[in-house]
Structure 1
Amino acid sequence: MHYHIPSLRSQSGCIVPKLATSKVPFSDGFTFQRIILIVAAATTGATILITLFLTGLHIRYYTNPAEQKLIIRIIWIPAIFSIFGLACIASYTAAPYIEPFAKLCETIALASIFLLCVNYIIPDPLSAPTTTIGDLCVEIGCRGNPSSLRNKSQRSKSSALWLKRTWIAVFQYPVIVFATTIATEVTTALLCPTSLAYSRARLVLRIINALSTSAAITAIINYSLRLKQALAGRHVARKLACFKGLVILATLELVVFAAVDRVTLRDATPRLTYFDWIIGVPAVIICLEMVLFVLSFVWAFSPSPYRRGSLAGGFGRRTMRVVVDAVNLTDIAKGIGMAFGSRKGAHATTAGGAVLESSHVTTKTEDRTGSSGEL
């Protein structure tokens, strides 16, 4: 299969080197692209099967929808990454347009793991239509009078401002990646894929994504450490370790492979072409890694804490409900709105340092017994 980009015909200065497109088989007519396509298909199939198995267990014990819908979004990520990787290998032409959307899906999962950590302390925190950062701070336990502290860092950690900044650091991630995804699509459509300008643009956009990812992950880690006692028994550490490992590794690989684009153009051979290097190799590595990550998810996101009581309705009906809950992203949209909306409620502390009570808090008096026991 030759690499064709329709827009190249209108770009007189865009030259695709012969070693970028030539397809010399290794043996028996199998090119490098065909070989890694087979490998990627096998590993993607394995990842999907394990994901479906773990999802099925959560469907069987779907006793806490507020938490489990978030978990299901997270455990779907390895399969989504693998599917996008397989699609990139199958069509080098479409790969530059397909690849950015995997990162966009990742932002939903990362925001979901943060909401899961919040949910462990405040059951269904975004259920009320008028919830504010100040409301959540009351329940999480932000304490202290920031005006009585001289040290700026102490002020930010002792009030609702800390939670507000954490919220912004997490939910800026979907916004930034959405913007860079659009920029990537435009760059791919306008620039020659073998030009220096294209390589630089790819690198800059991926660095922006990496910085945004780092800010979000750091905020989630700080949140879990600050509220370590309240989160005890929820196995947050193992969940964060598995998911952060996936996100960090995928982000680093994107930056590294964007940085070596010009090197691989010089190192291309008739059997291992330029597009094999910059598209095929990273994609097949992702597919191989996702099998390992989804196996770790079986351990980190086990449904065992939710195995209690009997459930109404059949498995098919619960499956439909799980799918609807998981793809309903109104909680992510509300989280973004809270992050960048009014700061009203972020200073909900009295002069004496006690946190003001809110109507949202007084109405949330339901049983706090979590899936792993009482907090």
Structure 2
Amino acid sequence: MAIFGDSTEGEDGKHVCPASAAYDIEAAEPFIGSLSFNHFNMILSGACVGVVCLIISILMFRHATHLSKPKEQIKIMKICLLLPLYSITSFLAICFPTAAVSITPWMEVYQGLALGSFFLLLCEFIARENEEGVGGFFETFDPPKKRGKPGISGVEWFGKQYLAIWQYPIVALGVAIATDITEALDVYCLESNNVHFAHIWLTVIAIVSVAFAVISILIFYKGLKSHLQAHKPLSKLLAFKLIVGLAFIEKIIFTILHSTSTLHPTASLSQADTDIGIPHLVICIQMVPFALFFPYAYSVTPYIGPAPYESSNKAWIGLVNPMEILRAMVHTRIIGL
């Protein structure tokens, strides 16, 4: 199967997806004992999801009940929410493989929104240390200069990183909607990377978009590293960067494995297992160590103090309030800039 091949032509000359969306969920032979791989996968991935949700729920509850800096902690809670959302969506894809094509693209939307919240969290750290806020800081900020290129102002540098980061959730939302539409029209075809289907194009768009966003958040962090040192941003960046980075690499790896028929059905592995089950099992498993690392990276300890805390209701309402995210997505300036 060539990377851009694998399709058949119908009697009317139209390209037809080489495999049916109605997967054979159960393989012909059991995987372990009397368990099929699908049942084994649901048990293992379900256990991982439970662990992730428990750990992250405790972390979010502690932030909500020690709400001393709501602007920062609500953003931290939004970032933490990525792990259970990622895990639950992957688990649903494993349980309902025929619906996976429609639900899994929304994982990119979660990821994009969490990346945006991480960016806004770094901005809050900057604002905390400067009386004039983010706008005043970047008016006097001298950004890193590229060799052989003229320097730019701090405001312009910030604007470039801002746009490169926030294009990702917007593009991810568009890709998710386009995936659902093209799947409904039978022109998506997960099993093929042929250029006649939408799958390869939407995959490339998503990969390019996330690459731009990740590179920009790294540039932003590196340029402000000395200003953010007091907030221990490296562990926060590492926790988030590894999630995004692994998802990015795994998407490429599984695309290649499927395109070259390296990962294919066997007597104990069905088409649903190879296309959906295994990639999402990997995600469920890897979310567990990330969940264990998050209480350290996004510790509540710096926010615990003698001062009275704000109501935890404010944290939970802020967590589900989309207005801050919507403002960030539709404006090119934030926090007084």
What is the alpha-carbon distance in structure 1 between the residues aligned to residue 328 and residue 21 of structure 2?
A: 49
Q: Which residue does the alignment assign to 1:174?
A: 169
Is 267-276 or 289-298 further displaced after alignment? 267-276
Q: How does 1:1-375 map to 2 (within 5 A)?
A: 13=16, 16=19, 21=24, 23-26=27-30, 29-123=34-128, 136-143=134-141, 153-156=149-152, 158-189=153-184, 190-191=186-187, 192-197=189-194, 201-264=198-261, 267-311=264-308, 318=312, 320-339=313-332
Gaps of 5+ in 1: 1-10, 126-133, 346-358, 362-375
Label 1:302 to 1:35 Cα distance change in 2 as closer, same or farther (>3 A). same
8 Å contact 2:127–2:133 — kept in the other structure?
no
Q: Which amino acid aligns with 1:140?
A: F
8 Å contact 2:23–2:97 — kept in the other structure?
no
Label 1:272 to 1:302 Cα distance change in 2 as closer, same or farther (>3 A). same
Q: Which amino acid aligns with 1:330?
A: M
SS across alignment from 1:69: helix
What is the alpha-carbon distance in structure 1 between the residues aligned to residue 124 and residue 314 of structure 2?
A: 20
Residue 139 of structure 1 and its aligned partner are, at CA, apart by: 2.5
What is the alpha-carbon distance in structure 2 between the residues aligned to residue 266 and residue 34 of structure 1?
A: 19
Residue 310 of structure 1 and its aligned partner are, at CA, apart by: 4.3
Residue 60 of structure 1 and its aligned partner are, at CA, apart by: 2.1
What is the alpha-carbon distance in structure 2 between the residues aligned to residue 18 and residue 336 of structure 1?
A: 34
What is the alpha-carbon distance in structure 2 between the residues aligned to residue 60 and residue 296 of structure 1?
A: 20
TM-score (norm 1): 0.76
Q: Deviations over 1:149-174 (max 9, x none)?
A: 9x984432x34211111111111111
Label 1:233 to 1:135 Cα distance change in 2 as closer, same or farther (>3 A). closer
What is the alpha-carbon distance in structure 2 between the residues aligned to residue 239 and residue 224 of structure 1?
A: 11
What is the alpha-carbon distance in structure 2 between the residues aligned to residue 252 and residue 261 of structure 1?
A: 14
Q: Which residue does the alignment assign to 1:131?
A: none
Label 1:212 to 1:17 Cα distance change in 2 as closer, same or farther (>3 A). closer
Indicate the RMSD between aligned Cα atoms, in angstroms. Answer: 3.3
TM-score (norm 2): 0.84
Q: Which amino acid aligns with 2:47?
A: A
Q: Which amino acid aligns with 2:169?
A: P
Identity %: 25
Label 1:201 to 1:59 Cα distance change in 2 as closer, same or farther (>3 A). same
Residue 227 of structure 1 and its aligned partner are, at CA, apart by: 1.8
8 Å contact 1:199–1:261 — kept in the other structure?
no
8 Å contact 1:37–1:89 — kept in the other structure?
yes
Q: Deviations over 1:150-203 (max 9, x none)?
A: x984432x3421111111111111111111112211222223554554896323
8 Å contact 2:138–2:158 — kept in the other structure?
no
Label 1:19 to 1:29 Cα distance change in 2 as closer, same or farther (>3 A). farther
